[in-house]
Structures are given as C-alpha cells and as structure tokens.
C-alpha cells in the first residue's frame, strides 16, 4: 500500500501522507480485537471527508444562526430521521462530538452541579463519564457507583436497587465499556422509577447489535439513549442522544447552546450513511455474526484454560483475567501487539493491580467480523492469543514473530472494508 491513494495529500504533505499510508497498512495486516473499534465502509469514509467540512451550522435544521444551510439541513434531517427509524425513538440529536460530550449533555439537561448521579464503577466495566471520580462528571457531581458480584461477574440488580433507593440519584446510567453480558434495561427502568431518577442507557458499545437485533433495545425502557456512532454501529467517530418527545427540548438545548458550538457536518453525513447501512438486512446478519464470533472465541479461549470475567459473553466483548497465566495485562497486550493482534489492557472487577498496569485484557469481534471472519476461524484466533500470552510470560520474541506471520496470512485473505487494496 502507498500514500498514492491520497494524491493531493501526498503532493502537499508527504510526511503526513506517509503516516496515513502506514496506518492503512497496519489496519490491513493486523487482527484488530479492540471491541470499541471497527472498519467503516468506503461510503462512510467518503461522506466523512467532504466539503461539508467547510460549513458552520450552529442551531438545528430550519433554526440556524448562519445562512447557506440549504444542503446541510437536508443532511442533518436525514441523519435524524434515520436514527429515529433505526432505534425506534421519538427524537434524535446527532450533533454530539463524541460519547463523552454526549453524556455531559445529559448532565447539563437533567442535573445541577453537586447533584447525586449513579453509574457503574469504571474498574467494574463502567465509563469515566458515568460519575467516576477522575472525570468532571465525578467531581462536579456526586457520583455513587455500583459494580458486579465477585462470585459471578454479573450485575447484582438487588444491590443496584438498594443503592438507588438509598441515594435517590438525579441521573442513573446503565451500560459501560467492559460488560460482556446482556443489559437488563427493564430491570434498570423499574429501579429508576422507584428512585425517581432519569435513566440513561449508554449503549455506545452495543448500538450496532441493537440496530441489528442482536441485543435487546433500551428504547421502550429508558429516558435517554446515549451512543457513539463508531463502534459496533460502524460509522464515523461521533455520537447521538435519543429520547422520548418529552425530553427532546432539554436534550437539544443541552447539546447546543449548552455545551457545543457548530456541529461537525461532515461527521453528520457519515453518520447518516452508517445509519442507512445499519438499516439493511446485511447489517442484521453482521450484528448476529459479531455475537456468534464472540461466543465461539470465548468457548475456544475457555478450552485453552483462560479465565473470562462472567465465564463468557452474550455480546461482542470478552474480558480476560490473565492472573492465572502468570502475566499482567499490559505485558500481554504489548506482546500481542508485536504478534499482530491489537487489544487493550483492562482492569477486571476487583482487580488488585492498578488501572495503568491491570490484570486483564479486553477483546472483541466487531472488526474481525467486518472483514468476514466466521466462528470456524475463532479456534485459531484463540490459539494465537494463547501462544502470544505464553510467549509474553517467557519473553519469547521469535514465537511472537511466528504468530505475526500467520496472522498476516489470514488477514491478507480477508480484506477489510474501507481500506485501499495493496
Ligand atoms: N474508549 C471507549 C472504549 O474503548 O470502550 C469508551 O469510551
């Protein structure tokens, strides 16, 4: 591959063009298992890099503070209509710049600084913006946190209810970044009703699974659905907030002018395309294949003796505790990277180690499914992970190089969407 796929960029800035060409090669040749990443289609890439970049559009379709919005209004209205249709919601705001600003907008809409908010603790699988201490959401607001049971790795809904009734949080989040199991939105809704809380489902990780019918939808149960658009949904890096009509004004006002200025119109266009793609029958097949691959990979890892948090997965994500393999998560993640397998190190629930050097790694199947890998490939993926983790424990660099070559061969046989062919 070469930077010739971007001729204008190559002519203007060959140094930068070479970095992008190298990234294209890296994404083509490696087995990308970070569960929050994916490959967007060529159509999404094209829509995200257009002259829409040149336009300021503060406001909403038909209600802007700048003129010349004839086309931008159509782009945003189309994205909004597609989001409403796909997720079965009354209202969608497609302007949040990404997941963290989207969640912050929820606080702006429904709480005041100092109010109590509740979410899953970050080391248990939650997200920084669900009221965790080092985030502004945990210092400007009073965050109280729930977790999972030590014996099962599953959310203890009785404990969530006890905490909610004791604390009566203004906002309650469900969802997170390292949850391998189905979220019971109805159970959270019943608790939030009792506690008098606004319930937010942060479905960033599983939005594509919901769109494709491979995870239950929160739409009928929660007040607000927050999601990024670039994970299982396979769109550009952006976010959306969706809600019932009664909350529409509060959400829109919180995003603009409460928190943001002009929307990134080029991203809105990419989101519109991704939503169109996600509404096709092929995407339903994709979403179910992501889950089938994750279950097959979990089975193959269990067969090789790995410890998986909660014992497996219901969705796209697997959280591996490497303690019993005698290697820390960070060392394993870096060795896997040298073997051409890209993961992230991650805390596991009740981790005795520090977040920057935790006990686990987090993996997932959205990207490999986008390149057409199927359950029959998962035993070899598990074998590569096992060989690389063992090589990490022994410091066996040649073994990592052998895995890297094998990974490269399989990736070459399964080109990724959106990447230029060699
Ligand atoms: N950074 C995202 C993830 O990797 O899950 C969450 O914001």
115 is catalytic: no
d(CA 284, ligand 1 centre) in Å: 23
> How confident is the model at residue 421, as a pLDDT?
75
Alpha-carbon span 188 to 183, nearest angstrom: 9
Annotation says 253 is catalytic = no
pLDDT tens across 53-76, in order?
Answer: 999 999 999 999 999 999 999 999
Pocket of ligand 1 (CB under 6 A): 36, 99, 127, 177
Among 376, 360, 386, which Cα is nearest to 180's?
360
* CB-CB contact of 14 with 3 (8 Å): yes
**Assigned token pair, 261:** 């200025």
Residue with tokens 């339903």: 284
pTM, whole model, 2 decimals? 0.97
Tokens representing 100 are 């963290």
231 is catalytic: yes
Per-residue pLDDT, 420: 84
In a mutational test of the pocket of ligand 1, which residue from 205, 229, 315, 362 has the highest number of ligand atoms less than 8 Å from its CB?
A: 205
> What is the Å distance from ligand 1's center to 129 Cα?
11
At 79-117, the pLDDT tens digits run 999 999 999 999 999 999 999 999 999 999 999 999 999
**For residue 34, how far is its CA from the centre of ligand 1 (angstroms)?**
9
Q: Taking residues 239-265, what's their average pLDDT? A: 98
In this prediction, residue 2 carries a pLDDT of 47
User: Alpha-carbon dihedral of residues 277, 30, 380, 209, nearest 10 degrees?
Assistant: -20
Distance from the Cα of residue 342 to its chain's centroid: 16
Q: Which atom of ligand 1 is nearest to the CA of 228?
A: 7
Domains and CATH numbers, the chain: 7-36+290-413 (3.90.1150.10), 47-278 (3.40.640.10)
């Amino acid at each position: 591959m070469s930077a010739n796929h971007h001729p204008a960029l190559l002519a203007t800035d060959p140094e930068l063009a070479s970095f992008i060409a190298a990234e294209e090669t890296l994404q083509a040749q490696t087995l990308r298992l970070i569960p929050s990443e994916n490959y967007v289609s060529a159509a999404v890439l094209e829509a995200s890099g257009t002259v829409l970049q040149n336009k300021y559009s503060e406001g909403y379709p038909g209600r802007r503070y700048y003129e010349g919005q004839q086309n931008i209004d159509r782009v945003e209205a189309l994205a909004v209509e597609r989001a409403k249709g796909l997720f079965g919601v009354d209202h969608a705001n497609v302007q949040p710049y990404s997941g963290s600003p989207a969640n912050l907008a929820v606080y702006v809409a429904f709480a005041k600084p100092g109010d109590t908010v509740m979410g899953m603790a970050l080391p248990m699988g939650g997200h920084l913006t669900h009221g965790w201490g080092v985030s502004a959401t945990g210092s400007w607001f009073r965050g109280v946190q729930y977790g999972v049971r030590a014996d099962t790795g599953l959310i203890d809904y009785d404990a969530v209810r006890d905490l909610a009734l004791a604390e009566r949080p203004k906002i309650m989040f469900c969802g997170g970044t390292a949850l391998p199991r189905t979220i019971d939105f109805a159970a959270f809704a019943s608790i939030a009703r009792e506690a008098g809380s606004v319930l937010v489902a942060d479905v960033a990780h599983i939005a594509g699974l919901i769109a494709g019918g491979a995870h239950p939808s929160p739409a009928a149960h929660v007040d607000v659905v927050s999601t990024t658009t670039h994970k299982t949904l396979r769109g550009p890096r952006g976010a959306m907030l969706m809600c019932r009509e009664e909350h529409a004004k509060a959400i829109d006002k919180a995003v603009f002018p409460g928190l943001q200025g002009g929307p990134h119109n080029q991203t809105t266009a990419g989101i519109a395309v991704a939503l169109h793609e996600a509404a096709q029958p092929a995407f339903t097949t994709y979403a179910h294949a992501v889950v089938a691959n994750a279950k097959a990979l979990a089975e193959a890892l269990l067969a090789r003796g790995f410890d998986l948090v909660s014992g497996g997965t219901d969705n796209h994500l697997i959280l591996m505790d490497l303690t019993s393999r005698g290697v820390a998560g960070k060392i394993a993640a870096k060795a896997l990277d040298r073997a051409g397998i890209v993961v992230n190190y991650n805390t596991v629930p009740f981790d005795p180690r520090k977040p920057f050097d935790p006990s686990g790694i987090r993996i997932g199947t959205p990207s490999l499914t986008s390149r057409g890998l199927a359950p029959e490939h998962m035993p070899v993926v598990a074998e590569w992970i096992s060989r690389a983790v063992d090589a990490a424990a022994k410091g066996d660099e040649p073994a990592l190089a052998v895995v890297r070559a094998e990974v490269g061969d399989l990736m070459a046989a399964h080109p990724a969407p959106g990447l230029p062919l060699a």
